[in-house]
Amino acid sequence: MPGLGALVLRRLGARMGRGAIASFVADPYMIEMGDGSMAGGGSIVSGHVFDRGKLRVGKVKIGKNVVIGGNSVVFPDVEIGDNSVVGALSLVTSGTRIPPNQVWAGIPARPIMTIDGKPLRGRSDKENEDCSLS
């Protein structure tokens, strides 16, 4: 039934790529998901959020072949590059720009490694060791 969900989101204004799947999208007219992208069960992708008593509104652009882990939240004014991963239970805050081919996780989400498991510059040896895939 994933195709039906994408069809409904498209009718509500979301720009859903071929094979894109999302569990919950608020403000579909502000959301763009590329081909093959998936927002896992319990995740929320939203074009609005109340932050310190102020309403923040912005588009969310999710590239191609992106995986957003289950129960994660993506706030407005976010861009996630092609082939990137957002770990489960993560919070991607407003204004975040995730480059292509990276893995991000946490609250707030931060860079962990490249998609092929290589450490990212600027992280300590201990942080990189803790995120090892081996």
Question: Is residue 48 flagged as an active site residue?
Answer: yes
CB 61 within 8 A of CB 78: yes
Annotated catalytic residue within 15, 48, 56, 110: 48
Closest CA to 117 of 100, 99, 103: 103
Where the chain has pLDDT below 50, the residues are 1, 133-134
Total number of domains constituting the chain: 1
What CATH number should be reported for the domain holding residue 66? 2.160.10.10
- Domain that includes residue 73, residue range: 2-130
**pTM for this model (two decimals):** 0.86
Residue pLDDT, tens place only, 61-90: 999 999 999 999 999 999 999 999 999 999
